Amino acid sequence: MRSEAAPQPDGLERFVSAGKGRGLRARRRYAVGELLFSCPAYTAVLTVSERSSHCDGCFARKEGLSKCGRCKQAFYCNVECQKEDWPMHKLECSAMCVFGQNWNPSETVRLTARILAKQKTHPERTQSEKLLAVKEFESHLDKLDNEKRELIQNDIAALHRFYSKHLEYPDNAALVVLFAQVNCNGFTIEDEELSHLGSAIFPDVALMNHSCCPNVIVTYKGTLAEVRAVREIEPGEEVFTSYIDLLYPTEDRNDRLRDSYFFNCDCRECVTKEKDKEKLEIRKLNDPPSAETVRDMIKYARNVIEEFRRAKHYKYILCLTLTPLACELLEICELSLDKMGAVFEDSNVYMLHMMYQAMGVCLYTQDWEGALRYGQKIIRPYSKHYPSYSLNVASMWLKLGRLYVALENRTAGVKALKK
């Protein structure tokens, strides 16, 4: 698979970025809002919780989807979508029938299985690989610690367990590399409210390097990724996206980058740390908290965010139908907000994080008034902390608009939706 055989999108070129490895740069000027390029998914998997409401093939949200006649667990818009997805769905269809409720590979395992199948049936370069081929993905294998290697071995075991019928496996060493590549280069597809729809591989999009001051954002239309300019890009300028949520302070962002992508960011935002003070705003009290108290509370906040993430994964996702567990998650949010609120202002990003999680639980339990109360507290500081183009701010206005309309406040709903 030779990289020089692939045609390059007009106006863009692959190049060697100083200190960053491969990168993407502009060959012409791009205006704010302009589409630089789009990339169809090399392969994608719909998250299990969205089945029956979204098409497994194109990810479109529709009512009256038709289910697969064999497994009864995959749903499609029409016969065309089903036929197009069959080469990938057949990897799972018979196994889902055999395992029933015990069929539970992770999205990473499902995605990797599809890559193996795709590489077998389409050894030639695809339309998703005009700039970068899947086989060129960086694995950072030499940087994996024992815990990450053990997780990969668990994924390999699940791959063998759930996908024995239709896959030809490379040896274990090659599978370790492939899983490491997927972990570093996979994408989460989200809907307009930034809810998780599934996981995908977009090779050309993966070519872009990270910056906390990006000049493009990636959005999705089903399984198509679109890359648009959020500020003017001049000829010769490198194209940067953000790999992470930009809400958090510099130390948190770089912790995430090191853990998931094995580098530190040296963008202007990370060098100056100019927004960190606002993001970590302390409550104004007659007796201000000591520096040690603030440090301890930040440590507590980081720990409770991780605790909530784990609880959400094991309880909220795996036991999605059990409302008492959702109530337990809401209690974690409220208790942490009470404790952090003694030191942090409501605009502090750790407070906002837990408010956002609480809002999500309220939406799940259909407590519209509770969700609205949290959303109203979140939107103003979101607008301050996030860049003006942020999808997180737009998504919050969309949620608020829908909540206002659901609660029969049409005037406020229309105003929010216009925002």
pLDDT digits (tens, 9 = 90+) for 11-38: 999 999 999 999 999 999 999 999 999 9
Helix-, strand-, coil-residue percentages of the chain, each rounded to 5:
50, 15, 35
Give 274-418's CATH code, choosing from 1.25.40.10, 3.30.700.30, 1.20.1740.10, 1.20.80.30.
1.25.40.10
CA distances from 86 to 76, 91, 324 (A): 11, 9, 38
Q: Is 137 helix (H, G, I), strand (E, B) or coil?
A: coil
**Pairing label, strands 196-201, 43-46:** antiparallel
CATH number for the domain whose boundaries are 42-188? 1.10.220.160
**What confidence tens digit (pLDDT) does each residue in 220-263 have?**
999 999 999 999 999 999 999 999 999 999 999 999 999 999 99
**Pairing label, strands 209-210, 240-241:** parallel
Domain ranges of the chain: 12-39+202-269, 42-188, 274-418
- The residue behind tokens 């949520």 is 245
**What confidence tens digit (pLDDT) does each residue in 95-118 have?**
999 999 899 999 999 999 999 999
Buried-state track 310-326, b at ≥16 Cβ within 10 A, e below 16: ebbeebbeeeeeeeebb
Confidence at 314, pLDDT banded by 50, 70, 90? low
CATH number for the domain whose boundaries are 12-39+202-269? 2.170.270.10
Cα(259)–Cα(254) distance, rounded to whole angstroms? 8
**What confidence tens digit (pLDDT) does each residue in 323-337 have?**
667 788 888 899 999
Give the count of beta carbons closer than 10 Å to the beta carbon of residue 4.
5
- State phi, psi for 396 to the nearest 5 degrees: -70, -40
**What confidence tens digit (pLDDT) does each residue in 186-213 have?**
999 999 889 999 999 999 999 999 999 9
Count H helices and E strands in the chain, helices first.
14, 12
Q: Record the pTM.
A: 0.91
Q: Is the dihedral of CA 400, 404, 406, 410 positive or negative?
A: negative
Cα(312)–Cα(333) distance, rounded to whole angstroms? 11
Using an 8 Å Cβ cutoff, are 351 and 345 in contact?
Answer: yes
